[in-house]
Amino acid sequence: MQYTLAELAEKTGAGLSGSGDIIIDRVADINDGQQGSIVFVSNSKYTRFLKDTNASAVIITEKMAHNCGTPALLTDNPRAVFSRVALLLNPLPVVEPWISPHAVIADDAEVDSSARIEACTVIQSGVSVGAGCWISPGCVLEKNVKIGAGTRLFANVTIGEGCVVGNNTILHSGAVIGADGFGFVWDKDAYLKVPQLGSVRIGNDVEIGANTSIDRGAIGDTIVDDGVKIDNQIQLGHNDHIGEHTTISGHTGLSGSVKIGKNCVLGGGVGIGDNVEITDNVVLAGRSNVAKSITEPGMYAGVIPVVEVRKWRRILGWIKQLDELAKRIKALELKNK
């Protein structure tokens, strides 16, 4: 695909600086710009590259425009406009309706005529697949699964019995939705399995990364609300609830019955304990270990290496007193002046 710079400005809502007749047919990195490409700069420390770029156009803020003689799209959010331009120049593949003769589909399953079902997919009894869905090879949709319109399942996704996936959602390869939660009770001399009777409900416009696992609820459902973005290799435990437009980075693990609010950001490798609740608009730095609920918005961080438990309890006792001890020391310093 190609557009003039003026057309890109109109379609993205960005301002235009310089000639709008330039043809743009690809996006590029600021250091790899060539004729016909467009690049972006969102961080002021990279503005030094603007003078020497070979790109035909750039995406920058108005404050950066004085450093740039290249035709530009002007915006408060260059990264977002760059993403819109990239999608315009590289549109998502159009779903071509087709059912592979090597797919196994139950007689009572409802598959919309506009959906695409590829080889070795298994669709069990009572499943519903919405309009424009694309189910890639090797996926398994167990009994009574519901898939909304426009949803894409990449290869080898498994969705457990009774789970619901909304519209325009993407599940990447190897994701497992609706496995049993980790529910066991010690009974005399062995573990007794607790039946996991709930389901998983995933909203609209959600994206779930490769090899991520989301467990079904023990009684109620595990819920992922609209607009949530989940990275690769993440574990969500049974009965978790992830609020709208929250993002979760790779290798994060949530125990059971965790509730995350709206518009939160969880960095890589975060660990959250059972029954923890996190309010809206919280940012957790990578590797943070969360054992208690967070009730105030803001950014949080904290990692302490593992030690023997009695030593850890002593350390924790001192840590809790540090603020008060610091105040007492300051008071003594002032008194002795």
User: How high is the pLDDT of residue 49?
Assistant: 84
User: How high is the pLDDT of residue 50?
Assistant: 86
**Record: fold of 3-89:** 3.40.1390
Cβ neighbours around 66 below 10 Å, total: 8
With 90 as the cut, is the pLDDT of residue 51 above it? no
User: How high is the pLDDT of residue 277?
Assistant: 98
- What is the secondary structure of 50-61 as a DSSP string? GGG---SEEEE-
Least confident range of 72-81, 136-145, 280-289, 327-336:
327-336
CATH 2.160.10.10 fits 98-300, yes or no: yes
- Residue 146 confidence class, pLDDT cut points 50, 70, 90: very high
Residue 140 and residue 121: Cα distance in Å, rounded? 6
- Residue 304 confidence class, pLDDT cut points 50, 70, 90: confident
Mean residue pLDDT of the chain comes to: 95
Angle at 245 between CA 224 and CA 132, to 5 degrees: 65
User: How high is the pLDDT of residue 305?
Assistant: 65
- For 184-243, the pLDDT digits (tens) are 999 999 999 999 999 999 999 999 999 999 999 999 999 999 999 999 999 999 999 999
Residue 223 and residue 231: Cα distance in Å, rounded? 16
Alpha helix stretches (DSSP H) within 24-108: 78-89
Q: Which residues of 256-268 are buried (b: 16+ CB within 10 A; e: fewer)?
A: bbbbbbbebbbbb
With 90 as the cut, is the pLDDT of residue 278 above it? yes
Question: Mind telling me the catalytic residues?
Answer: 238
